[in-house]
Structure 1
Amino acid sequence: MDNNYLIIRIDEQQNIELHYFWPSSMKIKYNYPTCITIHFDNLSSCFSLVSLCYCFNILSTSHKLYIGVEVFKAYLSVKFSQSYIQE
């Protein structure tokens, strides 16, 4: 099981924000989240960018699939002017 987590939210300009938090047990110099902001028209660019980030490459397959589903749900909520709640 992965010890890290991701918060997905939609900001005031209808951009999708991904906030990735590293596990506290990892020995890293700075302890702050990796943040990615995507304009909702650039969803394919989002997945390309995320695939280049090391922190996402070390996740389990099920965690990656969960992130993909949640990002797509956020995308649909922006597209159809609905509220988004991460599960």
Structure 2
Amino acid sequence: MYVLIDNSYVMIRILNQEKVEIYCFNQINNNKTIYTYPICFVTYCVDIDRLFILLSMSIIIQHLCTSHKLYLGKEILKANICTSLKQLYIQS
């Protein structure tokens, strides 16, 4: 048995109840130096399908393990529902 560990994490936010922001942080290990930099994806909530297409083309997302990708999709849909219902979104 082996464990696949991603070197990335994702933060999801809602901006002004109309946009979903996704920040992908990737860590690159180079000679014991760790660089962390964000890549940002922003879309209006009505264009959430386009966001999934854009994310699927991102090299960072392509290297995530399957469970991390499923979690990301669940959280994006949860954020989209929260904006539709004018509810507060909290990433779990």
**Matched position secondary structure for 1:48:** helix
- 1:6 matched to which residue of 2? 10
Write the distance in 1 (CA, Å) between the matches of 2:75 and 2:37: 22
Of 21, 27, 32, which aligns to 2:25? 21
What is the Cα deviation at residue 12 of structure 1? 2.0
Write the distance in 2 (CA, Å) between the matches of 1:50 and 1:40: 15
Which has a greater percent of strand? 2
Instruction: Count residues in correspondence.
Output: 85
CA RMSD in angstroms comes to 1.7
Alignment of structure 1 residues 24-63 onto 2, 5 Å: 24-25=28-29, 31-63=36-68
What is the Cα deviation at residue 31 of structure 1? 4.3
* Residues 82 and 26 of structure 1, relative CA distance in 2, 3 Å threshold: farther
TM (normalized to structure 2)?
A: 0.85
- The gaps in structure 1 that reach 5 residues or longer are none
- The gaps in structure 2 that reach 5 residues or longer are none
Percent identity of equivalent pairs: 36
